[in-house]
């Protein structure tokens, strides 16, 4: 009996945080060499992908009354999800197209890889829908053409990312660690942040993070050990530009987080907890005091269960 053809998939596109983000140098082409410990977390967009006869269609949705920058998400060729579909369909010479529906939940321009994880999920989904049998390595080779965070978002879990993000090393799975996530209504220009950091590198280079210490902390698998190693080089320039980020980080620490840090180039901040109930209670208290800030309490995640 012939297997039933899969014509539609609905998948979760998980956000990420940077437990460590270090800049180890700048390349002649303008890209930066990174040493970053990335962690997949349980905040996600929902991506539906349908086979069509030809072309690519993209629709962006979000819940009524919810505005986390979603109205700024393009629904055309500028969207990374669209570009991911275009790239894979072309590379595989697929005779067919796709319709993509992005239901946004991850705040936009937040340092959480919202666009990158949508693109990664589209690559994974089309790979299954069209029986392309691309392995993870090949998908990551395509993904890095779209953005430095895309390879990690394809693989997920807990990873050390080096190079421009394409060199991934799986790390030990931490124990029960939970995240209180906060995204203030602040616009941060990633380009301006990196430009400011380049100037800092020239004038007063900061010390590099101790990656081996970070790996050891992760192997211990507890929030306090991880919290002692949190580091984001970009915070050295983003936080002085946006003192709201510093204030929010300090408030999260007051609410019992073992440690708190800005993710990516900002402006999102996260705190680590070893108890989900404590993280949720802190999020509720902070939401009452800061109604303009998006808060969520979520666990660490470790794999893409839908396609296992």
Contact 149, 16 (CB under 8 A): yes
Among candidate residues 219, 204, 205, the one with its CA nearest the CA of residue 171: 219
Give the helix/strand (H/E) hosting 88. Answer: helix 80-91
How much of the chain is in helix, strand and coil states, percent to nearest 5? 35, 30, 35
Tell me the residue ranges of DSSP E strands in 254-301: 259-262, 269-273, 294-299
Q: Which residues pair with 296 in a beta bridge?
A: 181
Pairing of strands 97-103, 56-61: parallel
Question: How does DSSP assign 176-211, residue by residue?
Answer: S-EEEEEE-S----HHHHHHHHHHHHHHSPPPPP-H
User: What is the number of helices (H) and of strands (E) in the chain?
Assistant: 10, 11
Active site residue 149: yes
Q: Of residues 22, 149, 183, 258, which has the active-site annotation?
A: 149
Q: Of residues 16, 104, 183, 258, which has the active-site annotation?
A: 16
For the annotated catalytic residues, the residue numbers are 16, 149
């Amino acid at each position: 009996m012939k297997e039933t053809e899969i014509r539609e998939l609905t998948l979760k596109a998980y956000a990420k945080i940077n437990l460590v983000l270090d800049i180890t140098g700048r390349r002649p082409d303008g890209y930066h060499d990174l040493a970053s410990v990335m962690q997949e977390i349980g905040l996600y967009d929902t991506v539906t992908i349908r086979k069509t006869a030809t072309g690519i269609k993209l629709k962006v949705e979000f819940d009524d009354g919810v505005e986390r920058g979603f109205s700024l998400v393009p629904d055309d060729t500028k969207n990374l999800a669209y570009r991911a579909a275009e790239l894979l369909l072309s590379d595989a010479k697929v005779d067919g197209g796709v319709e993509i529906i992005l239901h946004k939940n991850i705040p936009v321009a937040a340092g959480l890889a919202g666009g990158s994880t949508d693109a990664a999920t589209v690559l994974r989904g089309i790979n299954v829908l069209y029986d392309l049998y691309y392995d993870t390595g090949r998908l990551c080779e395509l993904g890095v053409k779209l953005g430095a965070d895309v390879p990690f978002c394809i693989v997920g879990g807990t990873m050390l990312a080096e190079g421009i993000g394409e060199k991934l090393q799986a790390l030990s799975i931490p124990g029960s660690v939970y995240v209180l996530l906060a995204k203030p209504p602040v616009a941060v220009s990633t380009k301006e942040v990196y430009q400011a950091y380049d100037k800092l590198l020239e004038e007063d280079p900061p010390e590099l993070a101790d990656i081996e210490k970070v790996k050891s902390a992760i192997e211990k698998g507890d929030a306090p050990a991880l919290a002692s190693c949190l580091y984001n080089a970009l915070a050295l320039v983003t936080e002085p530009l946006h003192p709201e980020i510093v204030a929010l980080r300090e408030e999260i620490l007051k609410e019992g987080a073992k440690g708190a840090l800005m993710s990516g180039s900002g402006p999102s901040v996260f705190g680590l907890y070893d108890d989900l109930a404590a993280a949720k209670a802190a999020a509720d208290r902070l939401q009452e005091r800061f109604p303009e800030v998006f808060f969520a309490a979520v666990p660490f995640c470790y794999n893409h269960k839908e396609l296992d």
